[in-house]
Amino acid sequence: MEKKRKKKKLKLRHIIICFLFGYLGLIFWNQRTLMKRLETKKQAIETEVKTLEMEIEGLNKEIEDSDSLQFVEKVARDELGMVKPREIIYIDKNKKKNPFLGTLKKHN
């Protein structure tokens, strides 16, 4: 009778140990998956930070140069469409994105 009890306890013990190892393996696998996901997210955020830092650096340089005459001329030409006296502008009608072409069509 005692041998049957020992065998039942032994089987129960084995089942509990197997369940415990399975549970621990599952936890380890979930942790690994989470770590990989967080690592890729971290890398994406780091690249975004580097890009934003470069953009900030460019904007700071632009702010420093904003007092110069070249900057004022660039803004006047690019954004406002201004030209120097006696300057001839050639418009390519085949070009789709021409800022001057859009202003000419509005006036005609």
In a domain, 22, yes or no: yes
In a domain, 61, yes or no: yes
The reported pTM is: 0.50
* pLDDT higher than threshold 50 for residue 108: no
In a domain, 100, yes or no: no
Q: What is the largest CA-CA distance in the chain?
A: 115
- For the stretch 85-97, pLDDT in tens is 888 877 777 776 6
In a domain, 46, yes or no: yes
Mean pLDDT of 7-35: 91
In a domain, 35, yes or no: yes
In a domain, 70, yes or no: yes
Structure tokens at 21: 């190892």
In a domain, 1, yes or no: no
In a domain, 99, yes or no: no
Q: What torsion do the CA atoms of 63, 67, 73, 74 make, to the nearest 10 degrees?
A: -10
* Higher pLDDT, residue 13 or 56: 56
* Higher pLDDT, residue 2 or 89: 89
pLDDT for 88 equals: 81
Q: Do 98 and 92 touch, CB atoms closer than 8 A?
A: yes
State the total domains in the chain.
1
Domain assignment of residue 35, given as a range: 9-80
* Higher pLDDT, residue 23 or 3: 23
